[in-house]
Structure 1
Amino acid sequence: MTQNRRDPAAEEKPVEPGEPPARQAVDGDQVAGYLRRHPEFLAERPELLDVLDAPARPALAGAGRSVVDLQQAMVERLRRENDELRRSHEELLLTLRSNQSVQSRIQQAALALLRARSFEHLIETVATDLAAMLDLDAVTICVEPSADVPAQVRTRGVLRVPQGTVAALLGPGKTIRLEAELPGDPTLFGPAAGLVQSQALVRLAVSSATPPTLLALGSRQEGHFQPSQGTELLSFLAQVLESQLRAWLDLPE
């Protein structure tokens, strides 16, 4: 009598100790059953709505209220995302337009400095024209004391500040400081300090022969200057002013 032989290849491989059991395939009915037993599942994981396809409207005929609510939730989510994208797009356009406007103003200010016909005209341009061109309320050059700077500076737009002021305000190695909300300091802005609510301070490296100097820009609009703003354009304007001051005063770099 012949005995039936068992095929070793057909036998299931025993699970080794510590080895995780093989995962079984999950079908749609099992998923549907799990969701019925856990109706709160999608509410607790709303991010899954991003990867689900909403049922077509004809398919909802006779469906339960929960199915209609699911589609409505997905539609509302898409609407919110669309609104967020629209707002982001509008903010980006506003930022680009603002940057273009600022760049144009800085270029006009730099050209005005380059057109100065004398040192006095250069200082007058800083004190009067720059404020209008940059839509600001106060622009001054602040100079620490030295043998070349008299105790009482009578040039409009140039203020004598106490020794150590520039280092105290900017710190070592820093060239620009932007303040979003800060009342104007009379030491920096003189009589116009009462107008200033936001300021930019820019170190002026005029010459190795000149005392510490800075350019003070003030606006009555809070938040006009922001610490997060780029400073490349202000640095460019400061470099143009430094170059012109050196040229008119016949100073070395």
Structure 2
Amino acid sequence: MNEVAVDLDEMREKILSEPDVILDDRDIMHALIAANEKALGTNIIDLRGIAMERLESRLDRLEDTHRSVIAAAYDNLAGTNQIHRAILAMLDPITFEGFLKGLGSEVAAILRVECIRLVLESPSGKEGDAALGRLGDVLSVVEPGYINDYVTQGREGAPIRPVTLRQLRPNSDRLYGEATQWINSEALILLNFGEGRQRGMLALGAEDPHQFRPNQATDLLSFFAGIFERQMRRWLG
């Protein structure tokens, strides 16, 4: 009994000297509140306990929101850094051939996509631009109207956004070739090379079906597209 009394005295002194140890421990506070409610009996309502429970619930929601905001900020920072690195890699080449090669290798690796395709519309279609077609697998020369049809999937009157993100497997291998079987999501970025020039499109194909989702923000890809257009105007003269 004496040992128990000594232990209780030491515990009491510890609590009195450092009350924050108890107040900061959620499990201990729950136990104390439960013991207090039990002592009050069933015919007494502890409004203070109810208020504390509500405040605790609000605190939990605030903590969850705080974690979500921090996670979103880190993701946005990581995405910004990724786009910046891709742009720097895209600005390095001094020839169009090197530009296309880097686009399909280094830039694709930085953006974590399986393949990148630069689509250019030409009045003569693919046959009339065989020289361009020989520059590599990254470049696809197509007939006018192909980009609209591909983005809208042939639906007349469907809205066309500057950047389209979607989760699907392409129903044709014309754009991605053999890589089509691995593509489960894609980003389609429309390109404007200036007045009097045909349209263009940058297609990013990813194996991960969740990499490009319709509910994602597109501001970083729009920024990337702006730099890409300016770089392409150099090669187009």
Q: Tell me if the contact between 2:125 and 2:144 (Cα under 8 Å) persists in the aligned partners.
A: no
Give the corresponding residue for 1:183: 169
Counterpart of 2:41 in structure 1 is 64
1:167 matched to 2:148? The reply is: yes
Q: Name the SS for the 1:186 alignment partner.
A: coil
1:172 CA drift (Å):
6.0
Q: CA deviation at 1:59?
A: 8.0
| CA-atom RMSD in angstroms | 2.9
Distance apart, 1:128 and its partner CA: 1.3
Q: Secondary structure at the match of 2:186?
A: strand
Aligned length: 194
Runs of 5+ unmatched residues, structure 1: 1-55
Q: Partners in 2 of 1:102 and 1:207 — Cα distance?
A: 28
Gap change, CA 1:148 and 1:246, over 3 Å in 2: farther
Question: Whose helix fraction is larger, Structure 1's or Structure 2's?
Answer: 2
State the alpha-carbon separation in 1 of the partners of residues 44 and 208 from structure 2: 52
- Answering whether residue 217 of structure 2 is matched by residue 230 of structure 1, we say yes
Partner of 1:10: none
Distance 1:105 1:61, change over 3 A: closer
Question: What TM-score results when the alignment is normalised by the length of structure 2?
Answer: 0.70
> Which one-letter code corresponds to 2:74 in the other structure?
R
Contact 2:125 2:143 in 1 (8 A): no
1:119 to 1:60, Cα distance in 2 relative to 1, 3 A: closer
Q: Cα gap change, 1:85/1:115 in structure 2, threshold over 3 Å: closer, same or farther? A: same
Give distance in 2, aligned partners of 1:135 and 1:163: 30
TM-score, length basis structure 1:
0.66
For residues 188 and 70 of structure 1, the distance between their equivalents in structure 2, rounded to whole angstroms, comes to: 67
Distance of 1:66 and 1:239 partners within structure 2: 70
CA contact (8 A) 1:119 1:249 kept: no
* Aligned partner (choices 71, 95, 106) of residue 94 of structure 1: 71
Tell me the equivalent position of 2:185: 198
Verify the 8 A CA contact 1:144 1:163 in the aligned structure 2.
Answer: yes
Match among 111, 129, 145 for residue 88 of structure 2: 111
Whether contact under 8 Å (1:197, 1:221) holds in the other structure is yes
The answer for the alignment partner of 1:208 in structure 2 is 195
1:66–1:150 Cα change, 3 Å: farther
Closer/same/farther in 2, CA of residues 66 and 219 from structure 1, 3 Å limit:
farther
Q: Which structure's CA Rg is the greater one? A: 1
Equivalent position SS for 1:238: helix
Matches of 1:121 and 1:165, distance apart in 2: 26
- Aligned partner of 1:23 in structure 2 is none
2:94 aligned partner, one-letter code? R
Unpaired runs of 5+ residues, structure 2, are 1-31, 153-157
